[in-house]
Amino acid sequence: MTKEYITTWFQGLQDEICQSLEEKDGKGKFHQDLWERAEGGGGRTRIMTDGKVIEKGGVNFSAVHGEMPEKILNALQLPKANFYATGVSIVLHPQSPMIPIIHMNIRYFEMSNGIHWFGGGIDLTPHYVQEDDAVFFHQYLKDVCDRFHPNYYPKFKQWADDYFYIKHRKETRGIGGIFFDRLSSDEGFTKEERFGFVQAVGKAFIPIYFHMVDHNRDKEYGKNEKKWQYLRRGRYVEFNLVYDKGTKFGLDTDGRIESILMSLPPQVEWHYNVQSAPDSLEKKTLNLLKKGIDWAGSNGEL
């Protein structure tokens, strides 16, 4: 299982996902920018703008290498080493507030000293939380995880709850999903088996997102729902700029800014002290943006 093999598979996944999304969207096309990193490696940034379904979306591949930054070596208490990092990273902001924002990332990291690991996850940020979609989403992820290890879903689901948390708002970013990092030889799996899991997560993206699109694209909405969408996107920005480790890492290491910040929504609003009416769908959503909801266990019965 060489890094070249993993890299090529990631590129293939990017191609596949872009093609599927273009077909599903029916109007938007991905624009590709190839970029190179002075210190080694580069990427393929692909952005769709003003599609029928997707207002702004990025499906990015990168494979970078070079010397490990001092800052990170110190944090991890490691001696000098070279690194190689490759991954696929997706954020899609839909036109319709009835369709959730989705994020997926899978990544592989190795160092010249032999240390290597996988990381990744999928999480969903509905502007309006709908129980049936949330149950479908978590059940799908649980099924993927359960094919590999019974501990994976509960562990990675909680990891996502903890990671995608906007501390200063006391809100989760969305309904979570799964998140994992530094997946190495725990649970006795071989590297091939672990990569098998990462591949399964990557392959889950399209069926999950298509379900969300098909289930919600014909739902009507008006000015109020758009307004709410802009506000929820504000929370997305707050999370990504204040807490997201991938974004921070990119900004700290002088990464390609336009590729990193493609995750930011096209239109956003911040208003002072917005309050939602007690019985509104907005309030219902806020009440469901918390850690520890057992969506997959509940089968819709919360």
Are 90 and 17 in contact by the 8 Å Cβ rule? The answer is yes
Which span (136-144, 217-225, 267-275, 288-296) binds its own copies, by CB under 8 A?
Answer: 267-275
Site for its own copies in 25-44 (CB under 8 A): 33
Q: Following DSSP, what letter does each residue of 182-207 receive, concatenated?
A: EE-SGGG--HHHHHHHHHHHHHHHHH
Residue 105, strand partner residues: 89, 121
Which span (67-75, 107-115, 129-137, 264-272) binds its own copies, by CB under 8 A?
Answer: 264-272
CB closer to its own copies, 266 vs 300: 266
Please report whether residue 168 would count as binding its own copies according to CB under 8 A: yes
**Measured CA distances, 104 to 149, 221, 275, 299 (Å):** 20, 26, 31, 24
CA nearest neighbour of 297 among 175, 165, 154, 200: 154
Closest distance to its own copies from the beta carbon of 267 (Å): 5
Please report whether residue 223 would count as binding its own copies according to CB under 8 A: no
Please report whether residue 72 would count as binding its own copies according to CB under 8 A: no
Q: Number of C-alpha atoms within 13 angstroms, CB side, residue 289?
A: 25
CA nearest neighbour of 102 among 92, 116, 87, 114: 92
Please report whether residue 218 would count as binding its own copies according to CB under 8 A: no
- Interface residue with its own copies among 51, 58, 176, 177 (CB under 8 A) is 58
Please report whether residue 261 would count as binding its own copies according to CB under 8 A: yes
- Interface residue with its own copies among 143, 162, 193, 258 (CB under 8 A) is 258
- Interface residue with its own copies among 80, 169, 203, 219 (CB under 8 A) is 169
Which span (19-27, 71-79, 187-195, 256-264) binds its own copies, by CB under 8 A?
Answer: 256-264
Please report whether residue 286 would count as binding its own copies according to CB under 8 A: no
Please report whether residue 200 would count as binding its own copies according to CB under 8 A: no
At 161, list the tokens. 């709850």
Cα–Cα distance for residue pair 181/134, rounded to 1 Å: 23
**Measured CA distances, 105 to 201, 214, 253, 268 (Å):** 9, 22, 19, 23
Which span (116-124, 132-140, 166-174, 198-206) binds its own copies, by CB under 8 A?
Answer: 166-174
What single letter denotes the amino acid at residue 163? Y
Are 145 and 178 in contact by the 8 Å Cβ rule? The answer is yes
Q: Which of 31, 93, 103, 149 is catalytic?
A: 103
Please report whether residue 231 would count as binding its own copies according to CB under 8 A: no
Q: How far is CA 22 from the centre of its chain?
A: 19
Please report whether residue 257 would count as binding its own copies according to CB under 8 A: yes
**Measured CA distances, 293 to 144, 158, 202, 252, 283 (Å):** 19, 10, 24, 34, 17
Instruction: For residue 215, indicate whether it is catalytic.
Output: no
Q: Which residues are part of the catalytic machinery? A: 103
Positions touching its own copies (CB under 8 A) are: 33, 47, 49, 56, 58, 167-169, 230, 234, 237-238, 241-242, 251, 254, 257-258, 261-262, 264-273
